[in-house]
Structure 1
Amino acid sequence: MKIGRLLLFLGLWIGLGCPMMPAQTLTPNQARTDLTYLKRKLDLLHPGMGYYTPRPRMEQLYDSLYNGLTAPMNYLAFFHHVSPFVTALKDGHTNLNHRKNFIGKTTRFIPFYIRPVGEQYFISHNVSADTSLHRGTELITINGRTVADLHRELMEADHSGSDGDNLTGRQQWSLVQFADYYAAWYGSADSIVITYRLPADTLIRKTRLNCLTLTSFRSTIQRRYHNEIDRRPNLSVRIVDSATRTAVLRVSTFMGTKKNDPFQWAFNRRLKRAFRELKKENIQNLVVDMQGNGGGIVLNSARLLRYWMPKPFTIMEHEEMKRAARNELISRWNPFAALNFSLQYKANGSDGFASRSSRRYYRPRNRTSFKGNLYFMMNGASFSATTSVLAKTLDAGMGTFVGEASGSAYWGDFAGHFKTITLPYSRMQVRIPLKKLTHAVVADRANGFTVEPDFRVTRSYDDVITNRDYVLEYTLRLIREGVVARQPMQPIKARPLQASR
């Protein structure tokens, strides 16, 4: 279990260099103003209002929340009050975030990472002062509440990274970032009381642990688990089995590698090098590791697909936005912004705009294309542009999918461009996607709401203890046994193929 990306995830909501803000109380009028402002902005801008949750239900929920604001409310209580309206959208790209400086350098976090096995939860990395809490220690309660109950509440409180009623994204992120989620939902705590059971022991013990600042958390992780920190660069290739000519291509993100690279040339160059190496080594089985890849730039996902798609393809069938979104994409200080918008978008006849270039075609690579067996390792944190790659590959009748369902929908998502609004009084921030992106896929070729695995793999207790990459181990076993769900370059059938065993 590599932890390099976990160090990046920890502190997602943290404004470094800023202290914890003092308590804030909102009057009923201030709270109502904030809620009304949020709803108005969502109605104006969000292309998915009413898509997953019917509009009458959203209106009913809004009225209930609005009418419940009858007394002064502290900031964190109001955060909890607003959250159900945002999560009701069931859109993984719409995020409710704390006001700036609410969490900062002095915020203290729960001092461990935890991993589930069935209905139980175990410590995988311990950064507390109590070094007796070895890997594999069962964590039973935190401050009197079971970990399962806490996980359930945190998972329901934030829909980030998970579309519709899909659970895998919420389950994945709320555990990978458990310390972040806990601090964001319950606030900073100097210490916690836990009950636990040590490995190979039946006795339930109880202790108090001090919580750590982000700086202390990171330094302890790096000191105790430096051998487990994932230092692999994005788009890295490693040969894992020379007998079966198998390699792993790690695709950790579709974001660019450089800030000042609008055409994503650096990403493209690294991708070319990776597939040249695969061809040079005569790789016959390629494992594409997309676990934890939260997405990024669609252009980069298309560039990856070019290396195995059998014929010219397009990623998106439609890209649409509401009329009010136009004002968010036009900069007043730029005299060419309106003209540029007109060149990129056209009125769609339903009080909105559609992209003129959504059906851009990409030609497959010929000289360095991969012709062998494709295996995809994925989980609930495989989201957004990552699901676009998985959906297009499934639609083409290719690939063997291993792990758990991706976080985004097979049909597409709400993303593209974003507007972050700040509520007037609480100063909470909400990120709103402006575009509805519909994948150019055939609905009958879906294998579920998301892209579902052909082989679902779950963690065992032994996997926790040994820190084993259990999804990769399972995938390599499939390769050694010659198991594929879909043969490369075969004609597409109307319904998804069943996994052969």
Structure 2
Amino acid sequence: MRKITLFLLVSSVLGLQAQQLDVTKLTYEDYQSDLTFLNKLISQEHPAPYKVVSKSAQEKKQKDALKQLKKTTDYVHFIRCLTRIGDGHLSYELPEEFTFNAIEHSQFFPYPVFVKDGRMFINIKGATLPYGTEITAINNRKIKDLLTNINEHVHGDFYNTTLTEEKLTQAFPLYFANIFDNRVKSFSIDYITRDTKKQKRFKTPAVDYYTYYRNSKLSILPINKLELEQPIHPHYYPEKKLAVLTVNTFDLSESQAYEKFSDFFKRVNKEAYKEIAIDLRNNGGGNPSIAALLYSFISNKKFQNIFNYRTAAITLTKENMVNDYGNPLSYDDIKGFENFLYQRFNKDEDGTYVGNERLKEGVLETFPPDKDTFSGSVNLLVSGKTFSAAVYFAKLFKEHQRGKIIGQETGGNEYNTFAGYFVHYKLPKTKIIVRIPKTELFFGKAETPKSTHGIVPDLKLSIQDYLKYALKEQDPETQYLLER
């Protein structure tokens, strides 16, 4: 499954040449036509499109956005109309032609930032404002209000804000340009000085995309960038008898995952480590069975590995259906997927389709501990980017009280998420590829109570402690473990 990030301009597009869509010639009627088609798709293909936000509320929000689009008919204002329903897996990939147009004509906020607990800080050294300076307002928009507005477009499950903050730490200038203003000439920044704690205002010109991109590569957080470069990365602290296993994805084969997990746990057992931490702060999910596999290395008894999927329909809207690379699907491809759904989902009493034994074939529901299981103290590090199947691991960890959970609330919901199987469509006029979850993944045997939050950590560093470590360019949560 290809990772798709809403609004994110990727540097690799600079080498592309073919442009077939002239975004400057799209009309209001073109945009309105695509939105009508998009709404139809989501209502027919999504397993629960109104679970978080009612249909009437969605329609009102889009109606208000369409009024602004009619006043200023361009691609950026169309982006603000795209349907959001409180599902962190529903995503949009913008066409290359828009990316080229934005690179040429947009202006951007000059500094990378990091966002934590509703507050924003400068995330680069050598700028006019020192690293770690708190920003309180941008162009007279208070940061709290700005984050609330962005959360309507960029969020985790149930409009979770911690994933929003992680996304803004990754690419705030891009989100600001596409959600608020991409033609701004300058920025008025209200900030608090680090030494005197006085409120001041600073004005700085906007920058082009190339300057923004260069500045983004100089950002400090996240600190441990080496750990982000591999799916699984072990880090040992022999003097502390502490080891950290960073797992950035569960989208792995069993053999690949088992080899890495086994190597780590064999070593910590052999060298008599007293404590480990499993770092899922950047794990966006993957296969729940791989999450269970990892848990088997820290479990001292058999545990239940139970999850399943449900969907609202086992037929597909065939019009404009594409694969996740944007290429049209053949009739045989579409029919093959429909046959897959027909074979593996049974209609329940309430009219929804639930995965049957054939869908769960090969899933080990009663999972034994691994022979190299670790019996010492275990910590789990999570953040807003802990999502989907990674939340399933955190749920196992929490329910079995295996140790302390440290960090931020997860971006994914603790009981269910919309994931597993996806359908892709290309909107005919604007060429946006929309990825719609076809199934809802739920954790456990039965329907669980509705929850609007993720896994809440046992320990969350105060903003003062977080800044203390960040200003030293130290990983806050890891450094906390080392200094206890």
Distance of aligned partners of 1:103 and 1:240 in 2 relative to their CA distance in 1, 3 Å threshold: same
Kept after mapping to 1: 8 A contact 2:250/2:288? yes
Of the three residues 236, 241, 250, the one matched with 1:239 is 236
d(CA) in 2 for partners of 1:198 and 1:223? Answer: 22
Select between 111-120 and 264-273 the one with higher mean Cα deviation.
111-120
- Structure 2 Cα separation of the partners of residues 428 and 358 of structure 1: 33
Moved more, 292-301 or 379-388: 292-301
* C-alpha separation in 2, matches of 1:29 and 1:337: 33
Unmatched 5+ stretches in structure 2:
324-328
Give the direction of change, closer, same or farther, for the CA distance of 1:441–1:134 in structure 2 (3 Å limit).
Answer: farther
Does the 8 Å contact 1:135/1:464 carry over to 2? Answer: no
Checking the alignment, whether the CA contact within 8 Å between 1:108 and 1:183 is kept in structure 2 is yes
1:430 aligns with 2:434: yes
Structure 1 residues 69-108: aligned runs within 5 Å: 73-80=73-80, 82-83=81-82, 86-87=83-84, 89-104=85-100, 106=104
Matched-pair contact (CA < 8 Å) for 1:44–1:324: no
Letter in 1 for 2:419: A
Q: Deviations for 1:159-191, whole angstroms, at most 9, x for unmatched residues? A: 3xx111532222332333212312332464585
1:357 to 341, 347, 359: 359
- The letter for the 2-side match of 1:230 is K
Query: How many angstroms does 1:240 deviate by?
Result: 2.9
Q: Is the 8 A contact 2:305 2:364 kept in 1?
A: yes
Partner of 1:313: 304
Matched ranges for 1:229-268 at <5 A: 230-232=225-227, 233-240=230-237, 242-243=239-240, 245-256=241-252, 263-268=253-258
Shift in alpha-carbon separation, 1:35–1:316, aligned structure 2, 3 A: same
3-state SS of paired residue (2:157)? coil
Instruction: Within 5 Å, give how 1:125-136 maps onto structure 2.
Output: 125-126=124-125, 131-136=127-132
- Whether the 8 Å CA contact 1:26–1:72 is kept in 2: the answer is no
Distance 1:92 1:149 in 2: 21
Q: Deviations over 1:447-484 (max 9, x none)?
A: 9832111112233243342223222233445xx5xxxx
Q: Is this contact kept in 2: 1:247–1:283, CA < 8 A?
A: yes
CA distance in 1, matches of 2:98, 2:165: 25
Deviations 1:181-214 (A, max 9, x none): 1233246458533434554254735232452435
Q: CA deviation at 1:123?
A: 0.8
Counterpart in the other structure of 1:206: 202
Equivalent in the alignment of 2:186:
192
Task: Please state whether the residue corresponding to 1:103 is helix, strand or coil.
Answer: helix
Secondary structure of the structure 1 residue equivalent to 2:124: strand
Of 382-391 and 285-294, the range deviating more from structure 2: 285-294
SS for the counterpart of 1:178 is helix
Which residue does 2:123 correspond to in 1? 124
CA contact (8 A) 2:407 2:460 kept: yes
Structure-1 residue corresponding to 2:477: 471
Residue of structure 1 in register with 2:171 after alignment: 177
Deviation (angstroms), 1:312:
4.3
Q: CA deviation at 1:39?
A: 1.3
Match of 1:374 among 363, 373, 378: 378
Residues 300 and 12 of structure 1: CA distance in aligned 2, closer, same or farther (over 3 Å)? farther
The residue that corresponds to 1:46 in the other structure is 46
TM-score (norm 2): 0.79
Establish whether residue 395 from structure 1 lines up as the match of residue 399 from structure 2. Answer: yes
Q: For residues 241 and 403 of structure 1, do their structure 2 counterparts lie closer, same or farther at Cα, with a shift above 3 Å needed?
A: farther
Normalising to structure 1: TM-score of the pair?
0.77
Q: Which whole-Å CA distance do the structure 2 matches of 1:221 and 1:24 have between them?
A: 28
What residue number does 1:37 align with? Answer: 37
- Stretch deviating more after TM superposition (308-317 or 201-210): 201-210
Contact 1:322–1:351 (Cα < 8 Å) also in 2: yes
Q: CA deviation at 1:40?
A: 0.9
1:400-453 superposed Cα distances (whole Å, 9 cap, x missing partner): 111121111111111112223233323333221111111027889999832111
Question: Is the 2:248–2:283 contact (alpha carbons within 8 Å) kept by the matching residues of 1?
Answer: yes
- How far apart, CA to CA, are the structure 2 residues paired with 1:223 and 1:449? 33
CA–CA distance in structure 2, aligned partners of residues 237 and 38 of structure 1: 43
Deviations 1:326-378 (A, max 9, x none): 96799634596666555544454626463433382253343211222221111
Superposition CA RMSD, Å: 3.9
Question: Deviations for 1:253-284, whole angstroms, at most 9, x for unmatched residues?
Answer: 2234xxxxxx4532332222222222222223
Amino acid corresponding to residue 292 of structure 2 in structure 1 = A
- Structure 2 Cα separation of the partners of residues 200 and 109 of structure 1: 28
Output one character per residue of 1:366-393: Cα deviation in whole Å (capped at 9) or x when no partner.
Answer: 3211222221111111111110111122
Q: For residues 468 and 443 of structure 1, do their structure 2 counterparts lie closer, same or farther at Cα, with a shift above 3 Å needed?
A: farther
Aligned length: 454
Structure 2 partner of 1:259 = none
Indicate the SS of the match to 1:431. strand
Is residue 425–residue 434 contact of structure 2 (8 Å, CA) maintained in 1? yes
SS in 2 for 1:420: strand
Secondary structure of 1:456's aligned partner = coil
Matching residue's letter, 1:473: Q
Over 3 Å counting, the alpha-carbon distance change for 1:339 and 1:445 in structure 2 is closer
Deviations along 1:218-274, whole A, 9 cap, x unmatched? 55565786995611233222223645x321111122234xxxxxx453233222222
Rounded Cα–Cα distance in structure 1 between residues aligned with 2:60 and 2:206: 43
Amino acid at match of 2:54: P
The match for 1:290 is 280
**Cα distance per residue 1:123-156 (max 9 Å; x no partner):** 1215xxx744321233344344344433332223
Instruction: Give 1:403's aligned amino acid.
Output: G
Q: Write the distance in 2 (CA, Å) between the matches of 1:146 and 1:134.
A: 20
Are the aligned partners of 1:315 and 1:388 in contact in 2 as well (CA < 8 Å)? no
Letter in 1 for 2:90: T
3-state SS of 2:290 partner: helix
1:404 alignment counterpart: 408
Kept in 1, the 8 Å contact 2:122–2:132? The answer is yes
Kindly provide the amino acid, as one letter, of the partner of residue 413 in structure 1.
T
CA–CA separation in structure 1 for the residues paired with 2:474 and 2:306: 35
